[in-house]
Amino acid sequence: MTLPGFPEAAPLAGLVGGVLIGLAAAVMLLGLGRIAGVSGLAAKAVGLGGSGIASGGAWMFVIGLPLGALVVMLASGGIDATFASPITLAIAGLIVGIGTRLGSGCTSGHGVCGVSRLSARSIVATLTFMATGIATVAIMNSLGLEVL
């Protein structure tokens, strides 16, 4: 399925993927009473603070992420992915790590769980990181810094 005017877009796969992510977060919320925030759970798993779940549970969630991607990869015969250079990935990773701890969450905790709860903090955080993400890509592209 394609979207008129956007030949690159995969709206149906996106929607199905989004529903799976929503179900995943719903399992965490209704099953364990917790937010499926990846940055918080990753921090908790390695002993860097984060949510109050037992670190064993945090580890299981974190291990599930590549496991789920592996299932899709095996079922679909491969996943397209184009990554930035190692130095760019290192700089970006560092900034993401600092930003998610200061900002108490990332795309999952704020963008999915918080926005759907109509949390003011999460809506403001999501609008903020969307805005700086858009600005970063626009600036990099205008400077010819297309790292991918």
Partner 1 sequence: MIRTAITSLISGTLFGAGLALGGMTDPARVRGFLDIFGDWDPTLAFVMGGAVIVMAIAWRLVPRLAEPIFAGQFHLPTKSDLTPRLIGGAALFGIGWGIAGLCPGPGIAALVIEPAAAAIFVVAMLAGMAAVRLLEGTSS
Whether the CB-CB separation of 45 and 58 falls below 8 Å is answered with yes
CB of 141 to partner 1, least distance (A): 6
Q: 98-137: which residues touch partner 1 (CB under 8 A)? A: 98-104, 106-108, 110-117, 119-121, 124-126, 128-137
The site string for partner 1 over 26-45 (x = CB under 8 A, - otherwise) reads: xxxxxxxxxxx-xx--xx--
Whether the CB-CB separation of 44 and 55 falls below 8 Å is answered with yes
- 55 part of the interface to partner 1, by CB under 8 A: no
- 138 part of the interface to partner 1, by CB under 8 A: yes
- 2 part of the interface to partner 1, by CB under 8 A: no
DSSP letters spanning 69-85: HHHHHHHHT--------
Tokens 């899709």 map to which residue? 72
Exactly one of 4, 77, 83, 144 binds partner 1 (CB under 8 A); that residue is 83
- 143 part of the interface to partner 1, by CB under 8 A: no
Residue 59: exposure state from Cβ atoms within 10 A (0-12, 13-18, ≥19): middle
Q: Is the dihedral of CA 96, 97, 99, 104 positive or negative?
A: positive
CB of 77 to partner 1, least distance (A): 13
CB of 73 to partner 1, least distance (A): 6
